[in-house]
Copies of this chain bind each other. A is one copy, B any other.
Amino acid sequence: MAELPIAYVAVVGAGADVAPALLAQAETVGALLARQGAVVVTGGLGGIMEAACRGARMVGGTTLGLLPGEDRAAANRWVSVAVATGMGELRNGLVVRCADALIAVGGEYGTLSEIALALSAGTPVVGIGSWEIEGVRVAADALEAVALVLDVAAA
């Protein structure tokens, strides 16, 4: 395995009804992370999760999908390795636990729960058009978000 300081990065956001501009950001985030050798961790479903996985896989990366249900078939087609946790929204905590950093792209309450769990654990959080909670680093776009994550890793 690669010995990167930031080896697993979660990309979190809504699973549906996402603005195209945010989907594009998520896809670019996935690609940039994969090029750095990071495993891209998501909740495995659609929307932001699928866009991030697609970006990562397009450049040959690896994606881990932690699904809420028990059926692996619910994973989007860009998930390399799927874990059908059957734990419902408790899997949000697993997404956070697996990750060395978290990038939130837009997102609803589920995303907010992941941001809060990450901040509580001391895991760096970067947001693109997401919840502006104290502690979240705000990035204008995918490039800045990934740069912020790498900055944290180098610090």
A60 within 8 A of B: no
- Against B, the Cβ 8 Å flags (1 = close, 0 = not) of A69-94 are 01010010101111111111110111
Is B93 a contact of A92 with CB atoms below 8 Å?
A: yes
How many A residues touch B, CB cutoff 8 Å? 41
A112 within 8 A of B: yes
Choose the segment among A24-32, A113-121, A138-146, A147-155 that binds chain B (4+ C-beta atoms closer than 8 Å): A113-121
Given A66-B83, A87-B87, A90-B94, A116 and B120 contact (CB-CB distance below 8 Å): no
A-B contact pairs, 7 of them (CB 8 A): A70-B97, A86-B90, A87-B87, A87-B90, A109-B120, A109-B135, A112-B112
